[in-house]
Structure 1
């Protein structure tokens, strides 16, 4: 989250969308019986015939800013050859938003653009300050980026800076781009690079040092010098000389060639100077990440590639790159032995044009298995309690639920509840939860519902920046482009839970293309998309996401709720798996693997190597470009400080338990700071986190206050009880064992291991774990070793029967509604599901609803709708043995 968190918790010509092929399912669960047309107050006649509303499948977005809403700045500081979509939310994005930008923490270099040029430093010393309620403990650890040297020209000052180019983790900053009367200065900074590459025209180079530097090597065009205890190499073209030696200002005409490189050096030696000189003339002009998810090995492999433009003085190929801890700990690339201090810990260097790293895909489950000492009657009662809420989509003046963030948290709550209701056999509740989620989500996905100028529940496309903004926005997600991954990840999570039982809902002709837009906004895998930038929130080199859209802070960009970032990327993985879209699944796998690795290193510092040893804390609630903070944006309550990097807790959170000792240590730090384990801010979140280190203790804490604690907004008592009892039965997360499927996990209770896997395919499959264990998983089911499965029912020999079907249709505006009443039966009493869909002449499914059923007979009603012309209604009933019977009726 960003500083906007202050409470607890294009036009049609730009449409160029890749549609995703979807696998069909024979087993589908409860989607619900309530269509949008039956929402109170909805009227198709109220839909706006507005040219600014762009239809996308069954949904739409608007290109007209809703009345009264704030939008991103009208001015973008970029040269004319760069256009939208712009890569916001990066370490350097302040260049796009501000006249001179804000501090740029490239690591190991730090920089600050000014009207004169670029201030450079190599921060190595920590400073500690306090802005919390505890005056005895400094809660902020920041590196001192006091300027060592300013790189400028002899031609005077500049009106602004502008972005002149960028790659996946580098940026090109230009001074004087729009003023023909002044010189130009162009500097390339790259995350992980010790080099700053400069090009100058119309003036000489001028370097002004904080104090007179010590020059310890003078080789004419190449100088080795030290200032403020930091060591640098200056590399000018051959034939150049430096004037001003012995003073604080050096100038050079650069022999008319107009280029210059400054490098921070690991030591003040001629050996280091010579080594860095070999690469100093290879200007970085491209940075590209690529990834592969090896499903069989359960591993994500990532390649980081550097492209360079080599000057005549170059004597080596490639560049020197400094790797962060999460990179050098997980690479087989040869490391050179040079190290640099950085706010992320010790960086180690490698040379060449690329390096690779490999990460295990962390354990991810869609929900927890039905294991543990759970009282099913009690759990069913908790489900009933939520089912009785009215409304289930909580909005209004007495709740915070009407913005994108709070709306999304409620989607998470409902998505968690549906499988729990299924586990206790309450299919009515399961339908109720998914109906409420689907109905509200579809309202957001269709800008024509209330007209394009309505500020409520609508997505607006801003073509100035290339972004999709939901209004009402939350915490600066509109004007500042903050937190899109946090908010929209919840929307994708809700869509994934719908698609888990009803993949046709996610067809491109239905709601899938709008979900595709949402994913592309915050985690676009394409660099050639005309509407959205590549991986808006995720920083490929840093290995984690940034939350602030403009990064306009002294300490650079920041991210508070790393757990909500993991949730957003796990949502993509699940959505891709349920819809059969391997590109999205693999994207989610890449993002989850890296984000969780970075969380371990930089938020929790599980190896105790990266945070400053003299800081008061071993956990950071906020990671900044220049340091860490033990605090939140809205409160210094220690429960929130710890809980914000745990919520929402679910099957996607299991990486937090990979290192049980570290989880125990962090929990102890929380208890010590809180003065005990009585929690009153977010008790359920903290009990759920405690379950990673001591599930029995966590369950005891819950039981002691089960009837009296305040439930966190995105949580439910049913989910908390289900989570705690499951973790108590399963034991510790065992991440040493991987699986050949993305939705799997292994647990160890000290006596035996439990293997869990979800099969999103249409047929039964066998999942193989890396220790040789095999697990048979029925279609569309979660299974565990020991025979536990939630596939439901027993295998029977009879074929289910469709006893009656009647259909009534009506038309309102562009919509056709079909009310289908059905009755089914099965002699073996193992009914499983009934699927009803509308189809056109080509047999394309236009809308579909599935209801979970059980017993010997069942009846129900499907409320279907479509903007297209339906010609038939198809009904299919399935039993627990996957026997099916179908009936097709012509309308």
Structure 2
């Protein structure tokens, strides 16, 4: 579900043997990030100006709009970001680091920023100059604090690494009191004990003379590398690990699609020795441990669970292939065909493109995908009679958005950030749930891609005609070109919504939030990449199928790790886990049980927004039936509340159907309505395609 602003402040890289033969026989090139079609140019009056925060060479290429460092390039760039394991805030000429404590109760869990150490230049001649991002990549940014401090902020590094470009005096302050200050004999290591119980260690590439008082540290003239890390444990072995790996540092990091169902992390490194990084819970599950050294006792606390030390020059994250298919995985019970056909005929008779009143790219897209589901159901149960009418509906709804004739809205390309906006969103940041400031692109476009994929499948001539427009739409959030490089040939930024370190997407775009990016609907994110993979099937594009399948797989892993809260989960605090089976809004620095548009008590809404749209991939997303039972049991009492919407009830019953088919079917038959992206025929298809 999109970000609301009302109260609104608003892999399967299947092996080749798993790729359907139609894809292998009709391969096409989708290796270029560019498209043969560009949507009409649009000018936005609501987008922020990026020129203050990016180096000039980066402004020549599309810029990221839902990334882990987004707060650094919005407004005055002073809001914190969580670059594991530290919260980091840049304020004009200084950088503040916090090893955050975690607050949790039954409703919310978040990390608390406190400026443990703030680094700046002593007597800086330009104290009001903003920071500048001189490079960025999937796992890192280079942040220049003018004039002489360059920070390599690499996600998962236990060290903050700073290159001092010109000999200056370094000034480090703290919000705490310095209780201890101990250098080694060579003055290349200092232990800094604070009155909050923390101990920080500063390493330098050459001797540095530091003096201190109760709240600050001053250096003599120095140039070179300094690295700062907190001792997250008082165990003597912990400090020894930091000492051992303090000389090898990453300056950037990139995620590569490797082989057929893997992601590889590669870092550009300097210094000597081996590279020490930290793995989050999902990394630890997927990483090929035969290629790295795991330091099980070297851990940092995090809102994302314990971060564990990994020593290795690169990582390989492996995921099993998942079935990205048009139809149900196990097939539909043949004796149910008459019931489904009856509902299908009725649903299809109600399809009429001219009767759609919404101009919202989100709600319109849902209606497109709803109609497309009917075509696939008809194909799966062998009832082609309704397909001509569905085809007419899909053409009537999709074409106007692709050829620019849709009245009241449409897609435009704006070049400042390099991506699609809507006509409505070009001058209203709240329109289309913020699509015009790059919110929710994968949600909205994902629904359209589903419809396009299905229509291209059942009408290849149409598909060929509109392929350029379809690919231009898809590549808005699926471009694989390199980021952080000057390349004027790129039309869109690299995989716009996906976070390669957390391995899930963010929905929030160019809007400043204290707790960073956020996403509410994990299932709509899954749908986006699933739909792109289906488009690869429809167009015989092996590469698109593989990339879409990989991202679908990763997004599912992300949802199951970060959103799905099992009763015995140790990821979050027990107070939060006890009361929540699914997270509402997941932030970079917070987990909230409430939604943007509904209170936390509306549990059926929380469940529903992390289930819809109901399609074959839903079964993979909810493959853990024991968890599904917990989730449904937790949700069912909320359905008795007066005003509980029929559409959300339907999503709850759909999950119940994974293990109680007959009970769920009876409940579904009592529904008086469905979510606007769902239908009775789709619900019956779902129930009768269970075991």
Deviation of the 1:329 alpha carbon: 1.5
Q: Among 525, 539, 545, which residue is 1:585 paired with?
A: 545
Partner of 2:653: 687
For residues 519-542 of structure 1, the C-alpha deviation after alignment (integer angstroms, 9 at most, x for no partner) is 221121221652111111001111
Deviation of the 1:720 alpha carbon: 0.9
User: How many Å separate the matches in 2 of 1:322 and 1:544?
Assistant: 18
Cα RMSD, aligned residues only: 2.8
Kindly indicate whether residue 275 of structure 2 is the aligned counterpart of residue 305 of structure 1: no
Q: Cα 1:320–1:503, aligned 2, differ >3 Å: closer, same or farther?
A: farther
CA contact (8 A) 2:360 2:432 kept: no
Q: Among 327, 334, 359, which residue is 1:402 paired with?
A: 359
Q: Cα 1:551–1:283, aligned 2, differ >3 Å: closer, same or farther?
A: farther
Aligned length: 643
Partner of 2:73: 96
User: How many Å separate the matches in 2 of 1:91 and 1:478?
Assistant: 18
User: How many Å separate the matches in 1 of 2:152 and 2:355?
Assistant: 48
Kindly indicate whether residue 453 of structure 2 is the aligned counterpart of residue 500 of structure 1: no
Q: Among 39, 47, 50, which residue is 1:72 paired with?
A: 47
Deviation of the 1:91 alpha carbon: 1.3
CA contact (8 A) 2:636 2:652 kept: no
User: How many Å separate the matches in 2 of 1:192 and 1:56?
Assistant: 34
Q: Cα 1:155–1:493, aligned 2, differ >3 Å: closer, same or farther?
A: farther
Deviation of the 1:158 alpha carbon: 2.6
Partner of 2:470: 515
Deviation of the 1:547 alpha carbon: 0.8
Comparing 712-721 with 217-226, greater Cα deviation is found at 217-226
Q: Among 35, 40, 55, which residue is 1:62 paired with?
A: 40
User: How many Å separate the matches in 1 of 2:207 and 2:23?
Assistant: 65
User: How many Å separate the matches in 2 of 1:239 and 1:60?
Assistant: 55
Partner of 1:625: 588
For residues 281-321 of structure 1, the C-alpha deviation after alignment (integer angstroms, 9 at most, x for no partner) is 44422211122464xxxxx22211111133xxxx413x211
Kindly indicate whether residue 310 of structure 2 is the aligned counterpart of residue 335 of structure 1: no
CA contact (8 A) 2:82 2:588 kept: yes
Deviation of the 1:643 alpha carbon: 0.8
Kindly indicate whether residue 86 of structure 2 is the aligned counterpart of residue 109 of structure 1: yes
Q: Among 376, 384, 405, which residue is 1:427 paired with?
A: 384
Partner of 2:13: none
Deviation of the 1:666 alpha carbon: 1.4
For residues 463-508 of structure 1, the C-alpha deviation after alignment (integer angstroms, 9 at most, x for no partner) is 111112233445444442111111111111111112223344443x
Kindly indicate whether residue 687 of structure 2 is the aligned counterpart of residue 724 of structure 1: yes
Partner of 1:881: none
User: How many Å separate the matches in 2 of 1:107 and 1:693?
Assistant: 39
CA contact (8 A) 2:604 2:636 kept: no
CA contact (8 A) 1:61 1:458 kept: no
Deviation of the 1:426 alpha carbon: 4.5
Q: Among 373, 380, 383, which residue is 1:416 paired with?
A: 373
Deviation of the 1:391 alpha carbon: 2.5
CA contact (8 A) 1:70 1:479 kept: no
CA contact (8 A) 2:433 2:439 kept: yes
Comparing 335-344 with 385-394, greater Cα deviation is found at 385-394
Partner of 2:279: 323
Q: Among 274, 277, 288, which residue is 2:254 paired with?
A: 288
Helix, strand or coil for the counterpart of 1:491? helix
Partner of 1:153: 121
CA contact (8 A) 2:294 2:309 kept: yes
Q: Cα 1:193–1:415, aligned 2, differ >3 Å: closer, same or farther?
A: same
Deviation of the 1:715 alpha carbon: 0.7
Kindly indicate whether residue 161 of structure 2 is the aligned counterpart of residue 197 of structure 1: yes
Partner of 2:412: 460
Helix, strand or coil for the counterpart of 1:207? strand
Deviation of the 1:578 alpha carbon: 2.5
Deviation of the 1:360 alpha carbon: 1.2
User: How many Å separate the matches in 2 of 1:524 and 1:274?
Assistant: 42
CA contact (8 A) 1:199 1:258 kept: yes
Q: Cα 1:572–1:151, aligned 2, differ >3 Å: closer, same or farther?
A: same
Helix, strand or coil for the counterpart of 1:125? strand
Deviation of the 1:241 alpha carbon: 1.4
User: Higher relative contact order at CA 8 Å, sep ≥6: structure 1 or structure 2?
Assistant: 2
Helix, strand or coil for the counterpart of 1:569? helix
User: How many Å separate the matches in 1 of 2:369 and 2:252?
Assistant: 38
User: How many Å separate the matches in 1 of 2:326 and 2:354?
Assistant: 22
For residues 238-269 of structure 1, the C-alpha deviation after alignment (integer angstroms, 9 at most, x for no partner) is 2211111x52201213x531432212333246
Q: Among 217, 226, 242, which residue is 1:260 paired with?
A: 226
1:201-600 residue pairs with structure 2 within 5 A?
Answer: 201=166, 203-215=168-180, 217-219=182-184, 220-227=187-194, 228-244=196-212, 247-253=214-220, 255-268=221-234, 271-292=237-258, 294=260, 300-310=261-271, 315-317=272-274, 319-333=275-289, 334-337=293-296, 338-368=298-328, 371-372=332-333, 375-389=336-350, 391-392=352-353, 395-396=356-357, 401-423=358-380, 426-447=383-404, 449=405, 456-473=408-425, 474-507=431-464, 510-527=465-482, 530-550=490-510, 552-600=512-560
For residues 212-232 of structure 1, the C-alpha deviation after alignment (integer angstroms, 9 at most, x for no partner) is 234374212311234333332
Q: Among 625, 644, 656, which residue is 1:660 paired with?
A: 625
CA contact (8 A) 1:393 1:436 kept: no
Higher percent of residues as helix: 2
Helix, strand or coil for the counterpart of 1:587? helix
Q: Cα 1:122–1:618, aligned 2, differ >3 Å: closer, same or farther?
A: farther
For residues 80-118 of structure 1, the C-alpha deviation after alignment (integer angstroms, 9 at most, x for no partner) is 121231112011112222322421011111111113512
User: How many Å separate the matches in 1 of 2:335 and 2:6?
Assistant: 37
Q: Cα 1:342–1:115, aligned 2, differ >3 Å: closer, same or farther?
A: same
For residues 633-654 of structure 1, the C-alpha deviation after alignment (integer angstroms, 9 at most, x for no partner) is 1111222122111111110111
Helix, strand or coil for the counterpart of 1:204? strand
Q: Cα 1:7–1:502, aligned 2, differ >3 Å: closer, same or farther?
A: farther
User: How many Å separate the matches in 1 of 2:666 and 2:349?
Assistant: 27
Q: Among 137, 157, 182, which residue is 1:167 paired with?
A: 137
Higher percent of residues as strand: 1
CA contact (8 A) 1:307 1:353 kept: no
Deviation of the 1:713 alpha carbon: 0.7
Deviation of the 1:406 alpha carbon: 1.0
The structure that has the greater radius of gyration is 1
Flag structure 1 segments of 5+ consecutive residues without an equivalent. Answer: 9-20, 27-54, 129-137, 177-182, 295-299, 731-891
CA contact (8 A) 2:614 2:682 kept: no
Helix, strand or coil for the counterpart of 2:211? coil
Q: Cα 1:96–1:327, aligned 2, differ >3 Å: closer, same or farther?
A: same
Partner of 1:827: none
Normalising by the residue count of structure 2, what TM-score does the alignment of the two structures yield? 0.87
Deviation of the 1:410 alpha carbon: 0.9
Q: Cα 1:554–1:385, aligned 2, differ >3 Å: closer, same or farther?
A: same
CA contact (8 A) 2:253 2:268 kept: yes
User: How many Å separate the matches in 2 of 1:716 and 1:7?
Assistant: 29
Partner of 1:644: 609
